[in-house]
Amino acid sequence: MTVALVHGNPESAALWDPLVAELARAGVEDVVRLSPPGFGVPLPTGFPATVTAYRDWLIGELERFDRPVDLLGHDWGGGHVVTALMARPELVRSWASDALSLFEPDYVWHDLAQIWQTPDDGEAQLAEMFGGTPAQRAAQMEQLGVGHAEALQIAGVQGPEMTRAILALYRSAAQPAMAELGKDLPTLATRPGLALLATADPYGGSEELRRRAAERAGAEVAVLDGLGHWWMAEDPARAARVLTAFWRARAWSA
């Protein structure tokens, strides 16, 4: 079996390092990281970096595997998982996401997202956020739960390309765009799914909203009590236990 990981914003694939190490200790060694364009990898010329463009990108990546994979997405990576599988659920054996609530009709974007969705304000905020040295940016991420080594790697790829990707992505996702996409959320129930609910994550809306989205998607709910947005960095051992338990019970036994 192959596990494929998709990270989000403002991240790179280095975010997964601690979790990948824990998965290896649990015997899960065939792990592939898929990096959305502009987030730790180059942003191709002409790539529009919209919600649907990332959907099509991820579908293309999944089509390269010779058999369905177990797919895990975090933050916007979790959003890309949802949009891709609403169109092509047969490309995975199972899926997991911590971003299902984005597709609920009454989801309200968090304050920072609304700034990015506002012309001029978004550009100014990201210029400030990505200003300073990589060490200074890394220190900010460490305060939010990312490990030192991973934060330094991520900070090193934050810059103009990621800025363009963030602005285009969030502006394409302004409501009612996500609510419209979310009408197809029940499609995900055709494959085993896991909704990861980190209780201290401030970006996903209320627990009620996240549970409602999981129910519509036909997903099990795994509560990561006390963990925040970067749960895979805060407690990778617990995250690995939750994920491997799901895969062994629902995916690998199928």
Residue type, 63: E
Q: What angle do CA 241, 213, 167 make, to 5 degrees?
A: 90
- pLDDT at res. 146: 94
Report how far residue 224's alpha carbon sits from residue 197's, in angstroms, rounded to the nearest whole number. Answer: 6
Residue type, 236: P
Q: Where are the domains of the chain?
A: 3-109+176-251
Residue type, 199: T
- Residue 46 · residue 18 · CB < 8 Å: no
Q: Residues 208-231: what's their mean pLDDT?
A: 98
Q: How far is CA 93 from CA 37, 67, 253, in A?
A: 24, 9, 11
Q: Binning pLDDT at 50, 70 and 90, where does residue 1 land?
A: confident
Within 13 Å, how many C-alpha atoms sit on residue 144's CB side? 16
- pLDDT at res. 68: 93
The yes or no reply on domain 3-109+176-251 and CATH 3.20.20.10 is no
- pLDDT at res. 247: 96
Nearest by Cα to 11 from 118, 98, 117, 86: 98
Please, what sign has the CA dihedral across residues 232, 237, 241, 242? negative
Report how far residue 49's alpha carbon sits from residue 18's, in angstroms, rounded to the nearest whole number. Answer: 28
Containing H/E element for 94?
strand 92-97
For residue 194, the cross-strand partners are 96, 220
> pLDDT tens digits, residue range 48-103?
999 999 999 999 999 999 999 999 999 999 999 999 999 999 999 999 999 999 99
Q: Binning pLDDT at 50, 70 and 90, where does residue 250 land?
A: confident
- Residue 209 · residue 101 · CB < 8 Å: yes
- pLDDT at res. 144: 86
Q: Residues 25-35: what's their mean pLDDT?
A: 97
- Given a cut of 60, whether residue 254 has pLDDT beyond it is no
- pLDDT at res. 251: 63
User: What is the number of other CB atoms lying within 10 angstroms of the CB of residue 100?
Assistant: 33
3-state secondary structure of 210: helix
Cβ contacts of 20-26, under 8 Å, gap ≥ 24: 21/236, 22/236, 22/237, 22/239, 22/240, 23/240, 23/243, 23/244, 25/240, 26/240, 26/241, 26/244
